[in-house]
Structure 1
Amino acid sequence: MSASAVDRYAVLGNPIAHSKSPAIHSAFAAQTGQRLSYERIEVPLDAFAARVGELIAAGYLGFNVTVPFKEQAFALAQRRTPRAQAAGAVNTLMPTSDGLLGDNTDGAGLVADLQRLGVQLAGARVLLLGAGGASRGVILPLREAGVARIAICNRTADKAQALAIEFGIAVQAAESTDTPYDVVINATSAGLAGALPPLPTGAVAVHTLAYDMLYGAQPTAFMQHCSGLGARVADGLGMLVGQAAESFALWRGVRPDAEPVLAQLRAAMKD
């Protein structure tokens, strides 16, 4: 079989050199016996739609999309899944006979990782820190998982209010709360600068899972802070692998096991 017969996929972004997606999808392919290639492609900031068209013409069968192109991918998609529509952003594209399909697998990846961590989402109370795209992308999947309450806390109160009205969820005051949450999710980028997101006093207790969408070799500032309050903590590496597994299942019709791939990534980060 010639090399050209291998099914081709890629992750599109700018910058893109840091992406772990090729390692993840290569591991999924080996695990499931799928013959494919997966690469990083840096796309010029002003040429996303044109580049996607060129790659489809060249035979690529699917793409993951990362910053700063998720909104452009949403606009480019001719069909969108309900979760992509709710998120207002697309991280997975697949050419089909009915046009370019756009999906957003971030929320499904988060839900899968929370379940892996033993969180009982049915009936849970969840607090989202941040009112940007990362929060928007996970509200519908969390709701579909059966959570009893979703609240938004954001430094800019009017952004939290707007998102709450759009999705019919609650706003949590940034100062304090009398009732701790079962899950508190940091969907802000504050940790990139070593800062803490807005976290109401009383939101975290010993039964809380404090989950940071960011990940790294060391615990984030948010994780360290919540651990000091007695909470269980986790980072977003499992969400990254989970959303990739969801994309892989969409493209290939087979669902990989995220657990061993997550363990491989975790071990590699510690080396």
Structure 2
Amino acid sequence: MTLTQTPTLCAVVGNPIEHSRSPTIHQQFAEQTGVKLRYDRILSPLDGFARTVDDFFSAGGRGLNVTVPFKLEAWELARTHLSQRATLARAVNTLWMEQGVLHGCNTDGVGLVQDLQRLAALNTDTRVLLIGAGGAARGVLGPLLDAGCAKLHVINRSPARAHELIAQHQKATSVAPDKLTAGGLTEVGIPGSWDLVINSSSSSLSGEAPAVAFGLYAKHAWAYDMMYAAQATPFMLQAQRDGAAQTSDGLGMLVGQAAESFYIWHGVRPDIAPVLASLRTALHSTH
């Protein structure tokens, strides 16, 4: 008699959720690593996230990815058992149950840093300009600093929000004040002084580029949009006009953060490269 192994149940929860590519990514990771997996999309009511999470884990779920607009609520639900990354980010995109207790982590920053390193866009000499001070920025601030960039300057439409973000981080860590700074969208320092400009704002979702100053990019500089699309995003086109030597969207970040979640849940690290290539091909073919 042959016993059939029951698939591990994982899912992604959000509202909206039908657009999510997480099931495709995680199924490819599972095939690659030999993990028997069922990975679903869950549409949660905007006022019912906690119940949705409870129902999922009560039904035997192993791991839950969290997307817009629930990352802050996920942080609240798991706040007594957070990873260091999630504690600093004050947002959670990965949940799991351990000995009956809900745990949370934020893998967005790890995914971003891994992709930037894959592109050779980030090293210890890199001067980084981060556009935006919302949830996406919170998730990547710590990992960018941990990667050893030379300087990180956060700019935002509301300068107060950018200053608040870095003040929270400086209070929780020992980062030097001159290494982490903030300002408004036009407060970008000396023209041509940035080696890497990252757009963490939602501007590309609305088909617009952020209203930043002209003349940002140093020689050989990169521009990276945390959003992704079949074609260059408005921010990437803006960066090309402004002299960025190379540009990238955030598809590699998406796959990288998923790989870190997969590792947390299953204890095995998948190979990102073939999944990223497959996803890129699919993205172009549907355009």
TM band (smaller chain): over 0.9
Secondary structure at 1:113 match in 2:
helix
Question: Aligned letter for 2:196?
Answer: V
String of CA shifts for 1:132-189, please: whole Å, max 9, x gaps. Answer: 1111110110111111211011111111121222223202453353152111000001
Q: CA deviation at 1:131?
A: 1.0
Secondary structure at 1:208 match in 2:
strand
Q: Distance in 2 between matches of 1:3 and 1:71?
A: 38
TM-score by length of 2: 0.90
Counterpart position of 1:13: 14
Q: Which runs of 5+ in 2 are unaligned?
A: 171-179
Counterpart position of 2:182: 171
The worse-fitting range, judged by mean Cα deviation, of 6-15 and 170-179 is 170-179
Q: Which runs of 4+ in 1 moved over 4 A?
A: 1-4
Q: CA deviation at 1:14?
A: 1.0
Counterpart position of 1:57: 58
Instruction: Confirm whether residue 220 of structure 1 aligns to residue 228 of structure 2.
Output: no
Q: CA deviation at 1:68?
A: 1.1
Secondary structure at 1:182 match in 2:
strand
Q: Distance in 1 between matches of 2:66 and 2:3?
A: 28
Q: Is the 8 A contact 1:112 1:242 kept in 2?
A: yes
Counterpart position of 1:197: 210
Q: Distance in 2 between matches of 1:177 and 1:164?
A: 17
Instruction: Confirm whether residue 252 of structure 1 aligns to residue 266 of structure 2.
Output: yes
Q: Distance in 2 between matches of 1:144 and 1:254?
A: 23
Question: Aligned letter for 1:219?
Answer: A
Secondary structure at 1:83 match in 2:
helix
Question: Aligned letter for 1:39?
Answer: D
The worse-fitting range, judged by mean Cα deviation, of 204-213 and 161-170 is 161-170
Q: Is the 8 A contact 2:91 2:138 kept in 1?
A: no
Secondary structure at 1:80 match in 2:
coil
Q: Is the 8 A contact 2:6 2:36 kept in 1?
A: no
Q: Is the 8 A contact 1:173 1:200 kept in 2?
A: no
CA 1:98–1:145 in structure 2 vs 1: closer, same or farther (change >3 Å)?
A: farther
Q: Is the 8 A contact 1:107 1:142 kept in 2?
A: yes
String of CA shifts for 1:66-98, please: whole Å, max 9, x gaps. Answer: 111111111111400011011111000010016
Instruction: Confirm whether residue 261 of structure 1 aligns to residue 275 of structure 2.
Output: yes
- RMSD across aligned C-alpha pairs, in angstroms? 1.5
Identity %: 49
